[in-house]
Chain A
Amino acid sequence: MKKIEEIQLPEELRYSPDHEWVRPEGDLARVGLTDYAQDQLGDIVYVELPAVGIHIAQGAVFATVESVKSVSECFMPLAGEIAAVNGPLSDDPVLLNQSPYGDGWMVMVKPDDPAAVSQLLTAEAYLARLKGGV
């Protein structure tokens, strides 16, 4: 398992306390699980993603991730409509372990309020929470 200093947290992303990251891309936002989350979960063996077109509220469950240790739910960092999901991830869940910020992304969202992204944690603030044991 990684030590806190070894966790990758790209500066340009925003983070939720529930260990999701968000990257604004035009009108949409890409969402995935942080390096910390994938490391804590261990080898991921199954990912269940939502249907495209449905609306998910902030804090609601949008995906389920199963690792060799446990089954965990992923919580929506910002409210919006699912614009796309990462199909290859369902067939190859290892992508989430290998590349949490790249090929392991989970969903694209059309946020209800694009400005809501700025209310999420910065990399620095998220790291501070991890160090605090939250």
Chain B
Amino acid sequence: MSESLGTTGLVLNEPLLWERGKKGRCGFSMPAGDVPSSPLPAELTGDGPDFPDLSEIEVVRHYTRLSTWNFGVDTGLYPLGSCTMKYNPKINEKLAGLRGFAAAHPLLPSVLSQGALQLVFDLERFLAEITGLDAVTLQPAAGAQGELTGMLIIHAYHRLRGKQRTKILIPDTAHGTNPASAALCGYLPVPVPSGPDGILLPETVVGLMDSETAGIMITNPNTLGLFEANIREIARIVHDRGGLVYGDGANMNAVLGVVKPGAVGVDILHLNLHKTFSTPHGGGGPGAGPVAVRKDLVRFLPVPRVVERNGAYELSEGFPESVGRVMAFHGHFGVLLRAHAYILSMGPDGLKQVSRLAVLNANYIREKLKDVLHPAFDRPCMHECVFSDQNQQETGITTLEMAKRLIDYGYHPPTIYFPLVVHGAIMIEPTETETKEDLDGFIEAFRSVVREAGENPGVIREAPVRCKLRRVDETAAARNPCLTG
């Protein structure tokens, strides 16, 4: 193969900040006091926090060195399935850094926040159009909070109709947060098995959708990377029996401008702005999980909502049936800014092209790897492709070990062991932003790893050998977590 991306270079060790520095060292100089001293009351004095004494260059080198141990989408291909680790255009950062936004205070009165409020108002309209639904809240901090907000709306809907229901249907190909969100809202999650082709069958839903069931939560495309082709029929069944259809839009990157969830029967949908609309994420945040709803559910959206009155924008609490506030201030405003910039810079045709290329790239990888890895379903996929470890069973090499070996080749591993319905799952989501050369490099690397699994399994069991830290003991970390510094 051509020269591997992965290589070794000089990687500098770096201790903890507390192990650096020297007593009295400081990164800044305070001017001499020129006013009389005024001691604090005794109850406010005492030992300060335990901060290390460091010079400016020690701090800069500390974080710069740590950053060289990291791998991000700006370093290379990051095909973590279900996470949509697409490139985040730098224009988003430039616009989010505009002083009028970056320095705005969330408690400024509306009259001094017109630009920020208009941005919220406009982004809500954009997302309503993209989802084919009527109104949007931008408050939820991430996808799972969007799901909980959606569950609260379903709960409010049934309360208004006079009869609460107790269960929510959740397919076995849904995101793992779905049952957790339903349970957090007090519903009993009822698992729905997917059909032989990896998608939901209407007859299965017919058998489970009863008068105690408040609705269904469908991830579409599902976590197998397959489009739920029976979505209209399933939505009809659920609606006929008085339930609501919640769409988990985390995989929206596959269908932007191609499928409007509102047009295929989805009543409530959350989006992950940090995934589909290209804002930096990973390591737990920050995210944004706006929720879009159909017309008769608008009354339940969280407050305050931005409303337009005589050409000016203001915050309104005047929605008495609202589920209330779900997030302080206006959500993760910095994420909203970047998503707004992304949508405007891409435009409607650009967004459609995003999804087409995301689907094309995933299918390209699937086709190029399907003779060495076993596809979970041998049919075209959407934005991500899923393989099982079936072909590697004989070698005894596991999915985890192949993922570790990929690191040596300079690629972030795909998602592994998810979805749970696929044995030893390998879930690859390349996203639309990768070039054909980068996709080919990844494919070639994965093929080499598979070859090594058969010919030289010892190499794989030792991997990774080229990175700063090799195998960390995740079992010990989970059994005996050390949660303090």
Residues of A within 8 A of B (CB): 1, 3, 43, 45-46, 66, 68-70, 93-94
If A1-B396, A1-B398 touch, whether A46 touches B417 (CB-CB below 8 Å) is no
Chain A residue, CB-CB nearest to B420: A70
Instruction: Determine which of A3, A43, A70 lies in contact with B475 in the assembled complex, contact meaning CB atoms within 8 Å.
Output: A43
Q: Determine how close the nearest CB of chain A comes to the CB of B41; give it in whole angstroms.
A: 47
Complex interface bits, B457-476 against A, C-beta within 8 A gives 1, otherwise 0: 00000000000000000110
- Nearest-Cβ distance from residue A21 to partner chain B, whole angstroms: 22
Asked if residues B420 and A45 are in contact (CB atoms below 8 Å), the reply is no
Task: Report whether B417 and A45 are in contact in the complex, using a CB–CB cutoff of 8 Å.
Answer: no
Contacts of B474 in A (CB 8 A): 43, 68
A interface majority secondary structure: loop
Q: Within the assembled complex, what's the spacing in Å between the Cα atoms of A93 and B479?
A: 8
Q: How far is the CA of A1 from the CA of B453 in the complex (A)?
A: 14
Q: How far is the CA of A94 from the CA of B476 in the complex (A)?
A: 10
Q: With A and B bound together, what is the CA distance between A69 and B475 in angstroms?
A: 10
The answer to whether B479 touches A94 (Cβ under 8 A) is: yes
In-complex Cβ contact of A70 among B398, B417, B478 (8 A): B417
Measured in the bound complex, the distance between the Cα atoms of B423 and A1 in whole Å is 13
Task: Find out whether the CB atom of B475 lies under 8 angstroms from the CB atom of A45.
Answer: yes
CB distance from B368 to the nearest CB of A (A): 26
Q: Which residues of A contact B478 (CB under 8 A)?
A: 43, 45-46, 66, 68
Q: Complex: how many Å from CA A46 to CA B418?
A: 19
For the complex, give the distance between the alpha carbons of A68 and B400 in Å.
11
A to B CB contacts below 8 Å, 21 in the list? A1-B396, A1-B398, A3-B396, A43-B474, A43-B475, A43-B478, A45-B475, A45-B478, A45-B479, A46-B478, A46-B479, A66-B478, A68-B474, A68-B475, A68-B478, A69-B417, A70-B417, A70-B418, A70-B420, A93-B479, A94-B479
A residues near B417, Cβ cutoff 8 Å: 69-70
Query: In chain A, what residue has the closest Cβ to B390?
Result: A133
Residues of chain B in range 185-229 having any CB-CB distance to chain A below 8 Å: none
Of all chain B residues, the one with the shortest Cβ separation from A40 is B423
Beyond A45-B475, A68-B475, 11 additional pairs, beta carbon < 8 A: A1-B396, A3-B396, A43-B475, A43-B478, A45-B478, A46-B478, A66-B478, A68-B478, A70-B418, A93-B479, A94-B479
**Chain B residues, CB < 8 A from A70:** 417-418, 420
Interface residues, chain B, with chain A CB atoms under 8 Å away: 396, 398, 417-418, 420, 474-475, 478-479
Cα A69 to Cα B474 with chains together (Å) = 10
CA–CA, A71 and B275, complex, Å: 25
- What is the predominant secondary structure among interface residues of chain B facing chain A? loop
With a CB–CB cut-off of 8 A, which chain A residues contact B475?
A: 43, 45, 68
A66 to B176, CA, bound (A): 14
When distances are taken between beta carbons in the complex, the residues of chain A under 8 Å from B418 are 70
- 5 A-B pairs closest in CB distance: A45-B478, A43-B475, A69-B417, A45-B479, A68-B474
Cα(A3)–Cα(B475), bound, Å: 22
Residues on B with C-beta less than 8 A from A93 are 479
CA distance A69 to B418 in the complex (A): 9
Chain A CB count within 10 A is highest, among B417, B420, B474, B478, for B478
Residues of chain A contacted by B420 (CB below 8 angstroms): 70
Kindly state the separation between the CA atoms of A3 and B395 in the bound complex, as whole angstroms.
10
Chain B residues contacting A69 (CB-CB under 8 Å) are 417
Give the CA-CA distance A66 to B479 in the complex, in Å: 10
Complex CA–CA separation, A33 to B424 (angstroms) = 20
The distance from the CB of A57 to the nearest CB of chain B, in whole angstroms, is 16
- Nearest chain-A residue to B392 (Cβ)? A1
Docked Cα-Cα span, A94 to B418, in Å, equals: 23
Cα distance A46–B481 in the bound complex, in angstroms: 12
CB distance from B156 to the nearest CB of A (A): 30
Cβ distance A47 to chain B, nearest Cβ, rounded Å = 11
Distance (whole angstroms) from the CB of B23 to the closest CB of chain A: 40
Bound together, the chains give a CA A72 to CA B474 distance in angstroms of 18
Q: In the assembled complex, which residues on chain B have CB atoms less than 8 Å from the CB atom of A43?
A: 474-475, 478
Chain A contacts of B398 at CB under 8 A? 1
In the bound complex, CA of A93 to CA of B478 (Å): 11
Contacts of A1 in B (CB 8 A): 396, 398
Specify the chain A residue showing the minimal Cβ separation from B397: A1
* Closest residue of A by beta carbon distance from B473: A43
A66 → chain B closest CB, angstroms:
8
Give the residue name and chain of the B residue nearest to A46 (CB): B478
Closest to A43 in B: B475
A92 to B378, CA, bound (A): 42
Q: Which residues of B contact A3 (CB under 8 A)?
A: 396
Measured in the bound complex, the distance between the Cα atoms of B398 and A93 in whole Å is 22
Complex CA–CA separation, A46 to B420 (angstroms)? 18
Which residue of B has the minimal Cβ distance to A45? B478
Question: CA separation between A1 and B418, bound complex, in Å?
Answer: 18
Closest Cβ of chain A to B116, distance in Å, is 41
Q: Which residues of B contact A94 (CB under 8 A)?
A: 479
**Least distance between B176 CB and chain A CB atoms (Å):** 9
Nearest Cβ in chain B — how far from A20, in angstroms?
18
User: CA of A69 to CA of B479 in the docked complex: distance in angstroms?
Assistant: 13
Return B127 CB to nearest CB of chain A, in Å.
32
Nearest neighbor of B475 in chain A, beta-carbon distance: A43
Which residue of the partner chain B has the closest CB to A1?
A: B398
A88 to B418, alpha carbons, bound, how many Å?
A: 30
A46 to B396: give the CA distance in the assembly, Å.
26
Chain A min CB distance to B25 (Å): 41
Cα(A43)–Cα(B474), bound, Å = 9
- For B480, the closest partner residue in chain A by CB is A45
